[in-house]
Structure 1
């Protein structure tokens, strides 16, 4: 399959460079969508639109069978590019610093190859070109229009610098963390700073709550289950001599095990209420789900590993630790079993060494053919099994 993909390598690289030059933020990928639609139409692939800028391509094989979904994300980031590549962003302040340009190009390459193999496909392949991964909104848009209806398995992938080009990571179990943003607001009674006993200050109790948070991690959570609770924003008061009526705290929480998530949620609510009661305050806790934890299906991971061996060669699937970063791919996994692969793009000679979201982010474009081939091989292997 890799040799076949090499015939289309220039097509894939050219698309990737075009997308890199013309990045668009989450939910605004209108030009990217236009190009994707045009390419799919050339291939005779059925198109269904979703959300603001998402596209579902539908390719039906020579007979009915199982359905597999392949996914690429398309959005860029609000970063000033300093990569130095000749095809740098033409849009000031916006950059493809996470490699979604590559993901989109690889899936279009896979669609092109598979469309030419239609008479060899015993089932249906859906191509998800998704907006808004960075805001954890795009997967839901695809699902809302029925994109996952009837899907039996799905595959997603992401380039990473821990692996050199030509290597891959596919492991079963938890691979990426879920993420919640938690907003805590303490309300007291304002007053003059000279007589704090006549008011109900919120800053001191809020400080106690922040200090107390890490006790939840150490005393309520099993040490075998990783969890990170970070306070990123703390705002209280209006003036030095005015007792603060309100103090607001924004917390980021990442986890793998959903049970740990529930324990932490309950504990945060409990601790906020207890501290508020102790200081005669009101406490409000609001939890905003950002992304679910990503769990690779055991059986599908074995199949994907076999597919990867056909593309990368034996011994190229390397073990990596779990990532505390988050993805919205798990929303697809709620509707069908799925697997998520990490592909290596590291190449020191090309300065392709930076982790995603870095202003000097680069990829080794040689990795594009591997991702394209893995999409194709996995789809064929799953449908023919």
Structure 2
């Protein structure tokens, strides 16, 4: 039997065709209706059953020769509100929208893997679920698939993302916390408006809000173990209406990134405490609203070992590069709250082809040679996991 890389090589032209088709008609988070339709057409060609989930997501299912474990493979499919400037012969046709994070390639790779897995379904036991997920950029899509029952009974999850930290042909697979959790914190200070010439007759909110912003980093330095990173960034500060009116309202939007759940709790409590203390000191009111975007992403150690073994078969020995964990976030983490999982980075950088830009850049461009490797990696991990004997599984877990 050919290797999975060889089978993916046979599907490479089709994988590239699908990716370029999707690239030309990108759609924003929660609006991926044409993308969903195109994926359904491809699944229909392959005779792979599926059902809709959320707004535009799909859950497809492939069953092997016998009942067994269930593994979920995921590809995100939303684009970004960026005007494309990449030097490609198949640019976005939608003004102000482009696939600047490689989600078009993720979908194409998973469809390529689906073709291979369906063709070889008599060689493995169990069930493979394919998640074509909306809204990763807004951290909404994974929750919709979970709500639709996509994770019911799932034993393991696998996902990958194109990485600017690796050249084509290399990967990054590491256990533990790999991507940060993300919260958005909305703070409103409310005082009493008045004339700018007599602030003592009013209750200003801009000055207390400024003090809170300068005080904010003290939470990080004085309340949190420096070995457990957290980032607090004030991205929006709005207060007042006119120069000679004392501001009744001042509002702050803060982005918080973290790994450790206890650190998250500590910072949330400190934020509430500091806001109240400053509000009380200036005799004003304050409200704190914490919006959870996505939890931190934690790779299971045993599944990382399995993924490393699978990667060696696809990429070759010595191709797993170490990388720093990222303060960026990923809603793949929601799946990992329901079952063990591993999320891998796969290199797309190729300087000779001009594929040098990071995600979310207007000149973002991938080396399409990496896609056949990604498709094969999906296949290898899924089959290895499903065919893994219980005795071997217990050894890996130990």
- TMscore range, shorter length: over 0.9
Which runs of 5 or more residues in structure 2 are unaligned? 389-398
1:362 aligned to 351, 362, 365, which one?
Answer: 365
1:227 aligned to 206, 213, 230, which one?
Answer: 230
How far did 1:47 drift?
0.7
1:297 aligned to 295, 300, 303, which one?
Answer: 300
Report what 1:178 is aligned to: 181
Report what 2:281 is aligned to: 278
Report what 1:254 is aligned to: 257
Matches within 5 A, 1:145-164: 145-164=148-167
Partner secondary structure for residue 206 of structure 1: helix
**Matches of 1:330 and 1:316 in 2, distance apart?**
25
2:33 aligned to 18, 26, 30, which one?
Answer: 30
**Matches of 1:68 and 1:184 in 2, distance apart?**
41
How far did 1:39 drift?
1.3
Find out whether 1:345 has 2:348 as its counterpart.
yes
Report what 2:77 is aligned to: 74
Q: Deviations over 1:186-226 (max 9, x none)?
A: 01111111111111111100000000000000000000001
Q: Quote the RMSD (CA, aligned, Å).
A: 0.6
Report what 1:130 is aligned to: 133
**Matches of 1:110 and 1:143 in 2, distance apart?**
22
Report what 1:327 is aligned to: 330
TM-score by structure 1 length?
0.99
Find out whether 1:306 has 2:309 as its counterpart.
yes
How far did 1:151 drift?
0.3
Which runs of 5 or more residues in structure 1 are unaligned? none
TM-score by structure 2 length?
0.96
Report what 1:116 is aligned to: 119
Partner secondary structure for residue 369 of structure 2: helix
**Matches of 2:328 and 2:145 in 1, distance apart?**
22
Partner secondary structure for residue 50 of structure 2: strand
How far did 1:176 drift?
0.4
Partner secondary structure for residue 18 of structure 2: helix
- Structure 1 segments (4+ residues) deviating >6 Å: none
Partner secondary structure for residue 219 of structure 1: helix
